[in-house]
Amino acid sequence: MKTNYKPIFETLKLRSGVQLRNRVLMAPMTNSSSHEDGTVSEQELAYYRERAGGVGAVITACAHVTPEGQAYVNELGADNDSCIPGLTKLSRTIQDQGSKAILQIFHAGRMTSPDLNGGQQPISASGIAAVRPGSVSPREMTEDEINTIIHAFGEATRRAIVAGFDGVEIHGANTYLIQQFFSTHSNRRTDGWGGTLEKRMAFPLAIIDSVQNAVATHAKEPFIVGYRISPEEMENPGITMEDTLHLVDVLAERKLDYIHVSVRGFWDGSIRDKEDTRSRVLLIQDRAANRVPVIGVGGLYSPEDVTKALETGVSLVALAHAIIMEPKWVEKVLTNRDAEIRSTLPKSAQKELVIPDPMWDLLLSVPGWFPVV
């Protein structure tokens, strides 16, 4: 290992007591490779097995907490106890290679469609459709439905604990249901779940409580609870950076293990104001200070990229595209083989990279998404 890369390999003990052996995580990435019933497939297990081992932790693709909360075809499920055997295989597959296993849990809200949820109309904080082609107007959730979903996050956490995971990441980002309650675009409620900033935070905070209560009740070993956020929305009205910094202040007091910032680029500025070029990740890092670790992500490929990011003060870095193209990224940096790190996606490399068929088709179908050669 080159001396200037040492920060990558520093250990980190999280608030829960779980210790990560280095500062690099595998970011959660949709693979659409589970079985139709949401259980884990052999292709998924092989995909994670190939990428676990070097990274300190693997954060899985998002797993829905209720059947109608799916966002993708063949998505991982954590919505009933029949998922536990497959989830157990998944956690052990990751841990057997030496990495911690974190299950990302979510509900799509209005970002699903009747095609994915048995013909049902999507649900959300309010009956406001997403601003994207083909969006279906959702139905505003009732009080009972809100409480059911909150409970479902706790139940998904219980299943993760039973299945042997080291933690869960609450997916409060990427325009899904938790973010929909926080957003002034999708949440037009006038009851206790919407209106003021504090009321728009009520649903996310209730889910954190549900998850943490499940951990307190069921976990016999230290168990990670992280939270992912998207800093801004392009819609107007929509989430502003000021909203998010207020949320960070509140999250920092909730005894979370980390806040994971979901952005396209680590150094990217505002998506609402092109004149504001300050990194959204670093604004959150500055606000969180030393109260809660922050995970940075986005456009980081080389060990130089990761080292530079860590030098800003963020505690951890999550790699997405880099780990797809180079499953042994961490191992190669550690053994002075960083010159061998693959930076393109060869069309002939699916088998070598152990990428499931549905995910491979997706990677090649979006022009410019990956540097396909």
Catalytic residue positions? 176
Helix, strand or coil for residue 350? helix
Pairing of strands 12-13, 19-20: antiparallel
Rounded to 5 degrees, what angle do the CA atoms 142, 148, 151 make? 145
- CB contact set of 215 (below 8 Å; sequence gap of 6+): 157, 161, 223, 225
User: Are 78 and 156 contacting, i.e. CB atoms less than 8 angstroms apart?
Assistant: yes
- CB contact set of 144 (below 8 Å; sequence gap of 6+): none
CA atoms within 13 A on the CB side of 25: 30
Buried b (16+ CB within 10 A) or exposed e, 144-174: eebeebbbbbbbbbbbbbebbbbbbbbbbbb
Q: Crossing angle of helices 202-218/143-162, nearest 10°?
A: 30
DSSP 29-88: -----S-TTSPPPHHHHHHHHHHTTTSSEEEPSPEESSGGG--STT-EE-SSGGGHHHHH
User: Given its phi and psi angles, is residue 39 left (phi above 0), alpha (psi -120 to 50 degrees) or beta?
Assistant: beta
